[in-house]
Structure 1
């Protein structure tokens, strides 16, 4: 028995001794991690650091440390978040939103009980530290928010254990992070009250630099040198200009961030790493955020696998200007969407069908309408095909129907031939409703205009913007906070850098400019029935805004100056109206007279009317002799 015990002890001693031996030879035999593997290791380290930073913030709050120390801990946690944002947003967008989403309540549209889902995360925490520190009796609320943050962070860390990165994913995520800094970070979308926008941009871009660093050895020397130079210059500019209130955002975008994003794409190409081939709103192979063809309109269509043809665009253009589609043969789509007015009509609300009264809302521009996830002011449909059908059937707009229009068009040999060319069908085939909708929507998707003076300035044309417009750009991107709702580069509510969602906002729009009464239009609530969405409207594009007066969903304001003053006062709530669900901050902006004038100059610099004089066709397809009266119809109809 004693011998057995001795043998057992000896065996245990050997096992223990083997565990203590250095593992250097085995470790030396392990292959070095790939560049993508190095990136993943860095991400996991940064997640650990973020957890530590959040824990430090919790200690500062729980022990009631001085306000300056608590704010310092909060800003440290924000910086730690920015170091994980690149891959967290890419692989875990829902968790990322829980950690850093807007501090606004939401109601799920399928929730029949209309429960307002309270926001959580770092932006909610920001409201406890800025502009003033929370009252002591609210400390439990802060600690509860911190518990929610740590819970979401635990989910991120768990997801990171099973991640597998490829080189293509790494560069895709890196470029998207640069775009995120340009469109959300620098304008202050996720730092609405705290002063850390510039420091956070630096942290995010330093992470991008570290993310692509493992690939540097495989680059040609000139490419590597150029990349290093741009990172050094960009981060240097951020470090030397830390004051968010004074930061020259336009200079940063034009001279640093934009060239850096271009160089990242050049670096990816130099390494032979192909872009992802799938159809996206923001093209995966676009060289920069401000390239003329950066967006793919087909990504916003019902089918992303079918590409429009020139024949379909040409057919849709004829249909758009043809009054034969309407119930009385007198009104066309172009009656209320006129090319010379950036496809609006200059009316507060368009004249109703038959000339009696007015339609419910203002006619919005159709330029770049393809680059948004919802249509109509209340966002009630997702696709342009459905918008076209709804307008055609609306008794106050065109008072017709797709079915009746398709039957009538079938009687025109010229139209049948055009449909046959556009959809590769037999020449004698009857026109189908689906084809009619597709042709109209395809034409609307051709109305993309992204070549304004602002765009040209970003691409290096230094004289494209006047000094006033340059100053106005910084007002727009900074003090006025316009870009936190009208996101670059589309200047609408389609959220970058994924452009998968178009936001609605509650502004508290007045019924009349000088009448302190809320406009009665229920907005999106009229579609969803959700009370929280009362008076919510889609954030429209500001491109070509100088041509599309009057403004707001019902044309309340005749001039841009009036609109600027409305925002300057904090919307309806800022004017004293009770708008409990207003998403526009009610605080006044305190814009000076010069800042207002500069802002107007910038808004005028968003105009791009390229080729609009060529949109109206010279003639329309003919009908047979027995329908000769139709051949006298005017292009564009009457209004």
Structure 2
């Protein structure tokens, strides 16, 4: 942890800000009765009151630290401040996301990607404070650092309170925020994402749900009896379950999500509908009308498209399917996209690194699955591309992959009457028009966006089918969500690095992957650092989905590990740094997980059994490809899928 020299300045800022806030509150007293009868403003007053409680909790912790109170008292005060934060998290995250990140962002150093000076930004806030109290308490020499962090938290809180004084929430926003908070509890809260070391996970979950209950409580009198009763009953049951299981180590996260949290978001959606509050119409990755994280159609692939203003015709994805399996897109007319992305292998090829074009060696990295590839912000292992359209062009141009181009492919496809007709239908234009490279890219991207598969046994379990997971897989889920800390990077429900509950950005991690299994040499691939030029991002790679992982071996960006057992062992040892490699920017904690042999076996069973979804995979390839006319009749003998 770096020491900072801002303490005096921040304390001065704190005093000045507090004086300003007091002056404003005296100059602009509240007007009794103004909009006091609306549910949103009743809920807003509760938020403002608990913001004051959070400030008091942080002030109490500051006094304990300043007075060098016994460490147990300081830790208790810290945990109380964390619970107070969770009580207001719903509102803060929704209306003041920048302040919320400053208050409770990950304790990791960052570099802004467009900062040419590559200045390293130190983390601040509650998660940084946690590192002083847990797992090992700080020593007296670091007390000034703790006070500096507390001063930062209090000054940020003053800004949050000032913002709260000017809020004018709507019914739609409030219910949207309430469901998003439940999603946050599921994907980040119970997995320990923002409590990686402290023991307060379960009480903090209870505090977050108390915030949800308070936000919707003013609507109770307006709700019909049935949805009101169902919502109240579930909120009480969830809190009762949390009280019965207060210890994080023994907390059954899978049961809590399936029996309480996931149904709670559904009850909130039911209440919103009963009140006639329509959802937002905007295009989001997690749809505004998603009743739960595990609803079949909860996610919108078009949210990650360059244009989301119009629905894509089904004919475009159907055309993209033909193109995906057609070798005429390659420079030598031999290989297709399906050569390296084979449906039976969840659209991978089973190779550490795919065979290069014309058999000339191997490509630079492992072929990732395309299932659910549409549900992530970045494409390629290093995330250098934003859109699937760009990915299609990049692969077609790449001399080691397809060694062609969208334009060249378009010129050839335009000489097939069947393809001309298909392009006309796909893009709602005259079939006689020229096929373009942009259309080729768009059709391929549409097909990949159709490859969303969220029908695995885990999904069925979360939708109420309790027999969908075996006892072994359920025990493995407990490891995945708890001791193994897997879900703190592979976020529910997508199991990739797309960050919930907004699902707007994708995370990159530095794992310290060795060049070869058991090697003491770090793999030389610069990863995201090579794409951005940022030294701190050297060896960072996109967090891939774990869905269908049983079908996608070998693993890591260059296929280092052949089996899931090897991967689990690597993580159990703390990644590269845990194995003694020099990885100063590793984001994976280097501490060993100390998983038992039984826990490793259960975890592997969960990954293999609970996350596999082969829906439609074996019918993915078309029976035949469009024919060409007499001048190119020799192409009509080309095989579906080409050759590897």
Give TM-score, length-normalised by structure 2.
Answer: 0.94
Cα deviation, residue 31, structure 1: 6.1
Residue 510 of structure 1 aligns to a residue whose secondary structure is coil
Cα deviation, residue 458, structure 1: 0.8
Answering whether residue 575 of structure 2 is matched by residue 571 of structure 1, we say yes
1:143 alignment partner, one of 135, 141, 147:
147
Tell me the residue number matched to 1:631. Answer: 636
Answering whether residue 628 of structure 2 is matched by residue 611 of structure 1, we say no
1:78 alignment partner, one of 60, 76, 82:
82
Q: Distance in 1 between matches of 2:527 and 2:222?
A: 55
Moved more, 270-279 or 359-368: 270-279
Moved more, 188-197 or 149-158: 149-158
2:435 alignment partner, one of 407, 431, 434:
431
**What are the Cα deviations for residues 317-344 of structure 1, in whole angstroms up to 9, with x where unaligned?**
0000000000000010000000000000
**What are the Cα deviations for residues 456-492 of structure 1, in whole angstroms up to 9, with x where unaligned?**
0111111100000000001000000000000000000
Tell me the residue number matched to 1:170. Answer: 174
1:308 alignment partner, one of 309, 312, 320:
312
Tell me the residue number matched to 1:92. Answer: 96
Q: Distance in 1 between matches of 2:626 and 2:499?
A: 40
Tell me the residue number matched to 1:18. Answer: none
Tell me the residue number matched to 2:300. Answer: 296
Give TM-score, length-normalised by structure 1.
Answer: 0.95
Contact 2:102/2:124, CA 8 A, preserved across alignment: yes
Tell me the residue number matched to 1:13. Answer: none
Tell me the residue number matched to 2:517. Answer: 513
**What are the Cα deviations for residues 9-45 of structure 1, in whole angstroms up to 9, with x where unaligned?**
xxxxxxxxxxxxxx9xx95x76642000101111111
Unaligned runs of 5+ in 2: 1-28
Q: Distance in 2 between matches of 1:46 and 1:501?
A: 30
Tell me the residue number matched to 1:156. Answer: 160
Cα deviation, residue 631, structure 1: 0.9
Tell me the residue number matched to 2:237. Answer: 233
Q: Distance in 1 between matches of 2:445 and 2:156?
A: 41
Answering whether residue 536 of structure 2 is matched by residue 532 of structure 1, we say yes
Q: Distance in 2 between matches of 1:147 and 1:408?
A: 66
Trace 1:250-265 onto structure 2 (pairs within 5 A). 250-265=254-269
Q: Distance in 2 between matches of 1:244 and 1:479?
A: 10
Contact 2:35/2:41, CA 8 A, preserved across alignment: no
Tell me the residue number matched to 1:321. Answer: 325
Residue 245 of structure 1 aligns to a residue whose secondary structure is helix
Residue 509 of structure 2 aligns to a residue whose secondary structure is strand
**What are the Cα deviations for residues 232-274 of structure 1, in whole angstroms up to 9, with x where unaligned?**
1001001110100110001101111111111111011111111
Tell me the residue number matched to 2:453. Answer: 449
Tell me the residue number matched to 2:222. Answer: 218
Unaligned runs of 5+ in 1: 1-22
Tell me the residue number matched to 2:353. Answer: 349
Trace 1:51-200 onto structure 2 (pairs within 5 A). 51-200=55-204
CA-atom RMSD in angstroms: 1.1
Residue 42 of structure 2 aligns to a residue whose secondary structure is helix
Tell me the residue number matched to 1:593. Answer: 597
Instruction: Count how many residue pairs are aligned between Structure 1 and Structure 2.
Output: 614
Q: Distance in 1 between matches of 2:616 and 2:491?
A: 25
**What are the Cα deviations for residues 84-118 of structure 1, in whole angstroms up to 9, with x where unaligned?**
11010001111100000000000011111111111
Q: Distance in 1 between matches of 2:533 and 2:560?
A: 24
**What are the Cα deviations for residues 164-203 of structure 1, in whole angstroms up to 9, with x where unaligned?**
1111111000000000000000000000000111110000
Residue 517 of structure 1 aligns to a residue whose secondary structure is coil
Q: Distance in 2 between matches of 1:424 and 1:617?
A: 22
